[in-house]
Amino acid sequence: MSTTSVLYDHPGPRARVRNTVLSVVFGVALLGLLYWIYTKFDQANQWEPRLWEPFTRSTTWTQFILPGLWATLKAAVVGMLLSLAFGIVFAVGRISDHRWISVPAGAVVEFFRAVPLLLMIFFVFYGLPYVIKQPVTAFWAVVIGLTLYNGSVLAEAFRAGIRSLPAGQSEAAYAIGMRKTRVMQLILIPQAARAMLPIIVSQLVVLLKDTALGYIVAYPELLQRGVNDLAANYGNIIAAAMVIAVIYIVINSMLTWFAGWLDRRSRVRAFRVPKQTAPANAPDSTPEGGVTVSEPQG
C-alpha cells in the first residue's frame, strides 16, 4: 500500500528551490528588522551598561524578580487546577440530559466567557466584599477571575472533545450496564482530554500570562514587581521588560514541552499491547509457522 498522503505532495525540485529562496528572503528581512530595532534602542541609549547592571546584583532578583515570579506561579498553579475542575464539571453539566442542569450550566459558561477578565478581577476584589461582608485578598481576586474565565473556555473545549468521540463508545458502555457517571469518568472524559490537549495547554499558557492583569488590584506578580517596581527604582523599564519577557517565554516553553511529553507518554501507554503468555502445555510454533510435535519417549 502506498504511504503517500493524498492531502500533501512532496515538493519537487522547483518547489524546493522556491521554498529555499523564500526562507532566505524572510530570514534576511527578519534580521534586518531586528537590526533596525537594535539601532533605534541604541540611539535612545537603552543598551547602556548602567541600565543592565542591576540585573547582575543578587538583591534585584531576591527583592523584585523572584518574589514576583513566585506570586505569578502560585496564582497560575491554583488557577489552573481550579479551571480544569470548573471546565470538567460544567462541560458535563452542559451535555446533561436534564435541562434543569444543562441550561443553567450553559448560561454560566456563556456569561463568564463574555465578561472581560480584567473587569471580573476588578469586580471580585471591589464588589464581592459587599456581598459576602468581608474583604477579598488580591490573590483570591486574581485566582477567582482566572478560574471563572479560563474554566468557561475549558468547559467548551471539553464539551467539544466529548462530542467529537464516536457515539459507539458510550453506546457499548451502556450496553454492558455502565451508568452515565462511570461512562463519563472512565471512557469519555479521558479521551476528550487527550484529544483536546493542545487547546487545553494553549489556554493554560494564556492563564499564566493573564496573571499579569493582577496589577489592577495591586497583586505583586512578576510584571508588577519585575517591571513596574524595578523600573521605578532604576529607570530601566525597557531592559526590565526584556528580562521579564524572557522569563515568561522560558516558563511557557517548559509548560508546552511538559504537555507534549505527557501526550506522547499517554499515547504510548494507550496503544501498548500486553504480552500474551502461552499455556505451559501449548505446542511450540516453529519460525516457518508449523508446529513442533514432540516424539514419544521410550
pLDDT digits (tens, 9 = 90+) for 7-42: 556 778 888 888 899 999 999 999 999 999 999 988
CATH number of domain containing 88 = 1.10.3720.10
Residue 245 lies in a domain: no
Q: For Cα atoms 237, 248, 146, give the angle at the middle one, nearest 5 degrees.
A: 105
Provide, rounded to the nearest whole percent, the portion of the chain with pLDDT above 90: 42
d(CA 20, CA 18): 5
259: in domain: no
Measured in whole angstroms, how far is the alpha carbon of residue 241 from the centre of its chain? 23
Give the pLDDT confidence of 118-177 residue by residue, as tens digits.
999 999 999 999 998 899 999 999 999 999 999 999 999 888 888 888 878 788 888 888
Asked whether residue 157 is assigned to any structural domain, the reply reads: yes
**Do 112 and 120 contact (CB within 8 A), yes or no?**
yes
Q: Is residue 129 part of a domain?
A: yes
**Residue 74 lies in domain:** 70-220
Tell me if 228 is assigned to some domain. Answer: no
Q: Greatest CA span in the chain, whole angstroms?
A: 101
Length of the chain: 298
- The yes-or-no verdict on residue 278 having pLDDT over 80 is no
**Would you say residue 125 lies in a domain?**
yes
Specify the pLDDT at position 234. Answer: 87
In this structure, what DSSP letter does residue 263 have? H
User: Residue 141's pLDDT is what?
Assistant: 94
Using the predicted structure, report yes or no on whether residue 180 has a pLDDT greater than 80. Answer: no
Question: For residue 44, what is the DSSP state?
Answer: T
198 occurs within a structural domain: yes
Q: Is residue 159 part of a domain?
A: yes
Q: How many domains does the chain have?
A: 1
% of the chain surpassing 70 pLDDT: 86
* DSSP H helices in 95-196: 99-114, 117-126, 128-132, 138-164, 167-175, 180-183, 189-195
**What does the pLDDT average to over 224-252?**
90
Half-sphere exposure of 230 (CA within 13 A, CB side): 33
Summarize pLDDT for 37-84 with one digit per residue, the tens.
Answer: 999 988 888 888 888 999 999 999 999 999 999 999 999 999 999 999
